[in-house]
Structure 1
Amino acid sequence: MQRSGGVSLPNSKRKSSSTHHSGKEQRLEQNGIYMKSSTLLQRESKRFCDQLLEGYHEPIGYPCYPVDKIDEVLDRVHGLNEARLQRDVTPWVVPSAENLFFSGVAGLDGIGEEINAEWVRCEPMGLSRPKPDFTVGLRRSAFRNEELEKLENYGTPQNPFYFTPDLSFPFLICEAKTGRIGIDQADTQNIHSASIATKAIVNLYVAAFGREHEKTKDLLGRVLVFTVSHNNRMVNLYGHYAVAGMNSSDVDGHDTVDSYQYFRYDIAMFSLSMYDGRERFRAYNFVRNLYDRFAPQHLERIREAVGSMQRPVPRTGLSFAASDIGLDEGSSRQSFEAIASQENAVFRTPSEPASASQKRDMANMRGQLDKLLRQLQEQREESMQQLEQRRKESKEQLEKQRKESKEQLEQLTGMISRLQESKDAS
């Protein structure tokens, strides 16, 4: 901070929040994520989003205060921390699927949720590892055993199946932030998380059918994940989808196709406090329709892809699957993520050189490989010992049988001799 004539002046080197926000958008775009819509969004998907806004669901399981106190609550949480906002306001905006299930709403038993859970089993796309305020996805019980075997064999941090240890394929993500700047931060975090979730579904179809298959192409331009951003005054609803990447050239000048690009569609924006509260439960109604109408489609879409995958060869010896591998704190971050967090940080710290990060990642992988090789060698030695022990036991048993047979033969020969002598004597 510089001072002039007793007046404090801001340091010119300090980045403003808007500059920091634009820096995040730039990193997202470098990873193919764009905070805007595309003309390639399918009309059918647009109509479906409009249909999700229709109807009315009476809110079930109010928070711990009467409905006529909402205006007072909205005023009181203004300027307070996010925890108060999530506790007092979010349940009116995004109802809990599990609470609805326990309240008797049918058809939600396969839906699970996480609160402030870090996505430890997926690779980020330009920002720090997601940790949404509220995430809704599929529980393990939503899949059959054969489907789980295929998914666990398929899943990696680059192609995640489980995003947290207990939740797979998220389809609804909510971020709650205070103030107008806060809701912009929520939008940024949401599009990052939603793009990772969208990419997971597209990559699943590529693995199951191939990039050029009709079913894979039909996913492009179709909303696959939804997000909700809100503060104590307004709610933003978005749909997220993928499109084919633009043609580019590699270092040799050959045309290549970048995998996919990710966009969002502005579905609606509601006010929680204006218009005499007429829009207050519009987001709640949208989410209820999402649970009833989109969640079954989401599950069936994943099952369709999994059904076309080959069943994995049963594992012997080492009992681990690719989906069991998570990203640790070091290897999960891209080289520039050491300077970026989901919070609106002001200063940046020096980032680790990419070469050093790669060396550390290689060392971690080498350590894991050495550990697996040691386990394999130990199992091999144990198997050889067991085999040798069985051979020894078989040899001893065979020798014992031979000895017993010889003794029985000698006894039988003696009996025959005695019978013959008795016959001759008579």
Structure 2
Amino acid sequence: MSHLLAKKKSTASLRPKNSNSSLVTGSNTPTDQESRDGKSAKYRSATYETVLATKGSFMRKSDLGITDRSKGICKELLERDQPVPKHTLFRDDTFDEFCQRLQGKNKSRVIQDISRVIVPSAESLAVDGAKNLKHLVESVNEQWSSSIAFCGPRPQPDYAVGFGRSAFTEDQLKTFEPFLGYDPDTYSSYFLATFYMYFPFLTSEVKGTAALDIADRQNAHSMTLSVRGVVELFKLVGREEEANREILAFSISHDHRTVRMYGHYAVIEGDKTSFYRHPIKTFDFTSEEGKDKWSAYTFTKNVYDIWMPDHLKRIRSAIDEIPRGVSFDLSQPGLGLSRSNAPSFLDEDDSQPSQASFVGSAEVTPNTSFTQQTQQVLKRPRRQK
């Protein structure tokens, strides 16, 4: 889709470049990196759920629900056994006292003490011998500054997991380059979170004494961007039915005692795409002598081991079907299609593209979907040099 091409960031959102290299570090400047408490301000009101809904993202199940296939996968992710770490304060002889000491503590303390036994680190598992996770990368409290915004400021999850560049072949990256941009300091993309994270599929938000509903709203926002990227890729190659009502991402919200786990998916009805979440499990891991204390940990590991490989295969296969030899020019501000071939389809503020920006294209009508608009451009013959 033409609107999926990498978009040049507005001047205000550009990070100052390091004199040695724009990719020397993944750190963010204070202007785009909020504190853990400050970043959640916009999510504190329940009205944010209404704001999301007006954009087509709903914090509930759809009437149609998820596919039977996704239901079966969720069941397997919950039930498949996984080895759990032995040397943690979640062991039987320390668990009760450990949980008591966390009562009333702030978010930073909860993250420090238990977050990695609720949601294990993908990169740490890879370093510790899980070679099947070598292509995964993670971010911690880092703004998704390379994403294209969906609703307000970009997400900044406490923890996120997606694919690194090594997950794709050089040919796939070359084919996909017009949709990613040549310089992550300059371009944003539907398929990136941070400049090093492609197709994020898991986020975790943590609270201390604050309500978990705030964490749920943060996760819903982040995962809308995640699901949107996968759906748009499959629309681009005419395989959107493979993504319809399938869980394409997961989120976990937790505090010092309660965990909420969700799957996120899209419902595609013609040109309309809406985003929903599927409740997988909610529980108090301190109850019943800690019977469920490892449930989130094993679920997350199963996402990594069982669900993730198939998800990556689907993404790779879709990228392989993107037409080769299409000429793009990302040097122009706003979008990247050669100005002689097509108009700029994206607004200057890094927000959702507006259909009004298609005025001036003889092939586009007000009822033409973004998918159709892009396919029209992709089908145009390459100009002879």
| TM-score, length basis structure 2 | 0.70
Which of 300, 304, 307 pairs up with 1:291? 304
Distance 2:177 2:43 in 1: 41
1:304 aligns with 2:333: no
* Distance in 2 between residues matched to 1:306 and 1:219, nearest whole Å: 14
Displacement over 4 Å in runs of 4+:
17-20, 61-67, 156-159, 312-323
Counterpart of 2:233 (choices 168, 187, 204) is 204
1:107 is matched with which residue? Answer: 132
Shift, 1:313, TM fit: 5.7
Q: Which has the higher helix share?
A: 1
Q: State the partner residue of 1:395.
A: none
Report the counterpart of residue 170 of structure 2 in structure 1: 145
Distance 1:68 1:35 in 2: 38
SS state at 2:145 partner: coil
| Count of residue correspondences | 296
- The alignment yields a C-alpha RMSD, in angstroms, of 3.1
Shift of the alpha carbon at 1:219?
Answer: 0.9
* Distance change (3 Å), C-alpha of 1:296 and 1:320: farther
Q: Is the 8 A contact 1:202 1:219 kept in 2?
A: yes
In the alignment, which of 192, 206, 222 is matched to residue 176 of structure 1?
206
SS of residue matched to 1:35: coil
CA–CA separation in structure 1 for the residues paired with 2:244 and 2:125: 32
Q: Contact 2:43–2:218 at 8 Å: present in 1 too?
A: no
Match of 1:420 in 2: none
Query: Partner amino acid for 2:237?
Result: A
Aligned equivalent of 2:349, options 312, 325, 331: 331
Q: Which of 33, 52, 60 is equivalent to 1:36?
A: 60
Residue identity matched to 1:276? E
Determine helix, strand or coil for the equivalent of 1:21.
coil
Picking from 144, 158, 171, the partner of 1:119 is 144
Rounded Cα–Cα distance in structure 2 between residues aligned with 1:127 and 1:44: 33
- Superposition deviation, residue 83 in structure 1: 1.6
- CA-CA distance at 1:122 after TM superposition: 1.5
Asked if the contact 1:155/1:322 (under 8 Å) is kept, the reply is no
Provide the C-alpha distance between the structure 2 equivalents of 1:238 and 1:273, rounded to a whole number of angstroms. 20
1:219 aligns with 2:243: yes
For residues 86 and 119 of structure 2, what CA distance do their matches in structure 1 show? 12
Contact 2:150 2:351 in 1 (8 A): no
Counterpart for residue 424 of structure 1 = none
- Whole-angstrom distance in 2 between the partners of 1:99 and 1:301: 25
Deviations 1:150-190 (A, max 9, x none): 222123778522210111101111001123x5211000110
State which drifts further: 78-87 or 194-203. 78-87
Deviation readout 1:370-425 (Å, 9 max, x if unpaired): xxxxxxxxxxxxxxxxxxxxxxxxxxxxxxxxxxxxxxxxxxxxxxxxxxxxxxxx
Distance in 2 separating the partners of 1:19 and 1:301: 33
Uncovered stretches (5+) of structure 2, i.e. residues with no partner: 1-40, 182-186, 337-347, 358-385
Aligned pairs for 1:158-173 within 5 A: 159-173=189-203
Alignment of 1:89-108 (within 5 A): 89-108=114-133
Amino acid at match of 1:116: N
Aligned with 1:191 (options 214, 217, 220): 220
Q: 1:56 to 1:312 in 2, by over 3 A?
A: same
Alignment check: 8 A CA contact 1:152 1:322 kept: no
TM-score scaled by length of structure 1: 0.64
CA contact (8 A) 1:160 1:200 kept: yes
User: 1:222 is paired with a residue of what secondary structure?
Assistant: coil
The question of whether the paired residues in 1 share the 8 Å contact of 2:178 and 2:328 is answered with no
Counterparts in 2 of 1:303-382, with a 5 A limit? Answer: 303-312=316-325, 331-332=349-350
Residue deviations 1:300-342, cap 9 Å, x none?
A: 111111010123568899699979xxxxxx93468xxxxxxxx
Larger radius of gyration: 1
Q: More deviation in 288-297 or 75-84?
A: 75-84
SS of the residue corresponding to residue 268 of structure 1 reads strand
Specify the SS of the correspondent of 1:243: strand
Q: Secondary structure at the match of 2:193?
A: strand
Q: Would you say the 8 A contact 1:27–1:127 is kept in 2?
A: no
Once the two structures are superposed, the pairs formed by residues 7-156 of structure 1 within 5 Å of their partners are 21-40=45-64, 41-60=66-85, 62=87, 68-155=93-180
How many Å separate the matches in 2 of 1:61 and 1:132? 28
The residue number in structure 2 matching 1:228 is 252
SS at match of 2:62: coil
Query: Can you list the C-alpha shifts for 1:58-110, whole angstroms capped at 9, x where unaligned?
Result: 22375588663333332223322212111111111100111111111231111
Paired with 2:42 and 2:226, the residues of 1 have a C-alpha distance of: 27
Q: Take 1:316 and 1:85, find their aligned partners in 2: how far apart are those partners? A: 47
Structure 1 residues 165, 322: CA separation in 2 closer, same or farther (over 3 Å shift)? Answer: farther
Deviation at 1:56?
Answer: 2.1
User: In structure 1, how many angstroms separate the alpha carbons of the residues matched to 2:111 and 2:305?
Assistant: 23
Q: Deviations over 1:339-384 (max 9, x none)?
A: xxxxxxxxxxxxxxxxxxx9xxxxxxxxxxxxxxxxxxxxxxxxxx
AA at the equivalent of 1:263: Y
